[in-house]
Amino acid sequence: MTESLYRGRFAPSPTGPLHFGSLVSALASWLDARAHHGGWLARIEDIDGPRTVRGAAEDILATLERFGMRADEPPVWQSRRTAHYERAFAQLQAVGLAYPCSCTRKEIADSLVRAHARHTTLAYPGTCRSGLHGKAPRAWRLRVPDSSNANASASPTDNPAVIHFDDRWQGPQSQNLATEVGDFVLYRADGQWAYQLAVVVDDAEAGITHIVRGADLLDSTARQIYLQRCLGMPTPSYLHVPVVVNEQGEKLSKQTGAHPLDASQPLDALQAAARHLGLDLAAGAHRSLDAFYRAAIPAWATRVEATQKR
């Protein structure tokens, strides 16, 4: 792939103003795009109606600009793209991969407790795979491959339920969708499209080649790769940066007390974000936004290379 085909993105959920944790993800994705002379897009993940805060998206986009990160194309709003999710969902339904589920959270939790007592699985147990047994549908799930016990002795690479990928920061990853996740939700009981479906459809349709984001999403990646395969979409390359945690070791978010960034002091926050990413910035990087990025782009490239050699 030539470098100019690189397309990256930052995809914030507008649940509040940009905070230090989300700045780290934005900066990492921006630096990676610029280090590859590629494009960088912003996508507002506002399909989770109950969590979306009015005005937060505009605030995030304005803050990114103040911090010197301007998207190369107008932002994409997930709330305006539901027809695309419906189409992808219909495609999965047509091949029998999507099925309705009537389980409540409590029913799933109870069956997981029972399964745990038997030391079997912590994944959704597939209760509704065989039908709803007269109950009303609540959500829709995607059928994942069975973890073929018959193949237990074969190499794990032969198991269709195991998804492998090479993360550019975290190294080789694998997850068994059958035993660790189970059939996962595409359409939620509250009438919203699930993040997993929307993110896969949007990344593919925007031609995203490189995804750079926080390591809290590492655990979602195998599901997304599986969905890409089911929908005949290409798999981008992935890089997950370490998440920022608070003093209690919780991921920094609005819920865990993250403060909004002070947009009048972008350089201080950017330098702190660069330190979190382990970038070795040349002297003078603190003088202006231009000087910061001139130092940070090559420092990022060096950092990623060092991570890969580890």
Provide the annotated binding site: 9-13, 45, 101, 103, 124, 128, 195, 213, 254
To the nearest whole angstrom, how small is the minimum distance from the Cβ of residue 62 to ligand GLU?
Answer: 17
Nearest Cα to Cα of residue 67 among 109, 17, 115: 17
**Tokens representing 8?**
């990256």
The tokens describing 120, both together, are 């079997």
CB of 216 to ligand GLU, least distance (A): 7
Could you tell me which stretch among 9-17, 64-72, 81-89, 166-174 binds ligand GLU (CB under 6 A)? 9-17
User: Side chain identity at 294, as an amino acid letter?
Assistant: R
Piece of 5-13, 123-131, 175-183, 280-288 that binds ligand GLU (CB under 6 A):
5-13
Binding to ligand GLU (CB under 6 A): which residues in 31-50? 45
Nearer to ligand GLU, 11 or 204 (CB): 11
Q: Quick check: 75 binds ligand GLU (CB under 6 A)?
A: no
Could you say which residues in the range 187-206 bind ligand GLU, by CB under 6 A? 199
Residue 61 to residues 67, 139, 177, 205, 218, Cα–Cα distance (Å): 10, 32, 35, 21, 25
Number of residues that bind ligand GLU (CB under 6 A): 7
In one letter, which amino acid is 61? Answer: L
**Which residues does residue 53 pair with via DSSP β-bridges, in sequence order?**
none
The tokens describing 98, both together, are 């999507």
Nearest to 38 by CA among 237, 210, 296: 210
- Does 167 bind ligand GLU (CB under 6 A)? Our answer is no
| Interface segment toward ligand GLU; rule CB under 6 A; list 6-14, 64-72, 231-239, 271-279 | 6-14
Q: Which residues are annotated as a binding site for Zn(2+)?
A: 101, 103, 124, 128
- Token readout for 28 is 């990492």
Please state whether beta strands 39-44 and 7-10 pair in parallel, antiparallel, or not at all (unpaired).
parallel
Quick one: DSSP state of residue 285? Answer: T
Residue 240 in 3-state DSSP?
A: strand
- For residue 119, the minimal CB distance to ligand GLU (Å) is 32
Comparing CB distances to ligand GLU, the nearer of 22 and 147 is 22
Residue 206-245 contact track with ligand GLU, rule CB under 6 A, x = bound:
-------x---x----------------------------
Binding-site residues for L-glutamate sit at 9-13, 45, 195, 213
Among 7, 13, 103, 183, binds ligand GLU (CB under 6 A): 13
In the complex, the smallest distance separating the C-beta of residue 278 from ligand GLU, rounded to whole angstroms, is 20
Closest CA to 7 of 45, 51, 38: 38
| 7 φ/ψ sector (left φ>0, alpha ψ -120 to 50, else beta) | beta
Output DSSP code: residue 98. E
Q: Considering the complex, what minimum distance in angstroms separates the CB of residue 43 from ligand GLU? A: 8
Q: Closer CB to ligand GLU, residue 26 or residue 295?
A: 26
For ligand GLU, the binding residues in 95-134 under the rule CB under 6 A are none
> Of 111, 93, 39, which Cα lies nearest the Cα of 69?
39
Q: Which of 20, 14, 45 is nearest to 258 (CA)?
A: 20
Where do contacts with ligand GLU occur on this chain (CB under 6 A)?
Answer: 11-13, 45, 199, 213, 217
